[in-house]
């Protein structure tokens, strides 16, 4: 689940890097300066695609947008990692007890699922 930047369309304006909540796009210096998105770092939220003024950012062919994020309460140990990595403070709960996702705050970025060490975050595509 990742996005890519078409080098021929990128004007190195930095909008993608500014919009990315996770600092994924990286600046590449060279004959034609541009930004790139490392596949292994992108969580697939699409904020970069939505803001690019040159329409240079596109999802990879295997990309499936997340439609909903939930917590499997049987697997969740209440470690709070999801709450610490979420830029929108969508995971709510108490340390040591299963968390839930506040759907009104969740942007379906998937960062909580990527970082959960207990596979307790369920993403529906």
- For the chain (125 residues), the mean pLDDT of every run of 10, in chain order, is 92 95 92 93 88 96 89 97 94 97 93 91 91
The residues spanned by each domain of the chain are: 3-59, 68-124
> Hey, do 3-59 and 68-124 end up sharing a CATH topology, with the first three levels equal?
yes
pLDDT at 1: 61
pLDDT at 40: 84
pLDDT at 18: 95
The domain made up of 68-124 is a member of CATH 3.30.70.20? yes
pLDDT at 62: 86
The domain made up of 3-59 is a member of CATH 1.10.20.10? no
Residue with tokens 């499936």: 64
Measured CA distances, 13 to 16, 19, 116 (Å)? 8, 12, 33
Do 65 and 125 contact (CB within 8 A), yes or no?
yes
């Amino acid at each position: 689940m990742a996005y890519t930047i078409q080098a021929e369309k990128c004007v190195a304006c930095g909008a993608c890097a500014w919009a990315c909540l996770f600092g994924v796009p990286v600046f590449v210096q060279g004959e034609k300066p541009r930004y790139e998105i490392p596949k292994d770092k992108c969580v697939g939220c699409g904020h970069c695609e939505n803001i690019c003024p040159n329409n240079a950012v596109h999802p990879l062919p295997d990309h499936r947008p997340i439609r909903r994020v939930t917590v499997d309460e049987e697997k969740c140990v209440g470690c709070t990692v999801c709450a610490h990595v979420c830029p929108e403070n969508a995971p709510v709960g108490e340390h040591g007890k299963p968390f839930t996702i506040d759907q009104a705050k969740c942007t379906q970025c998937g960062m909580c699922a990527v970082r959960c060490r207990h596979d307790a975050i369920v993403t529906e595509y």
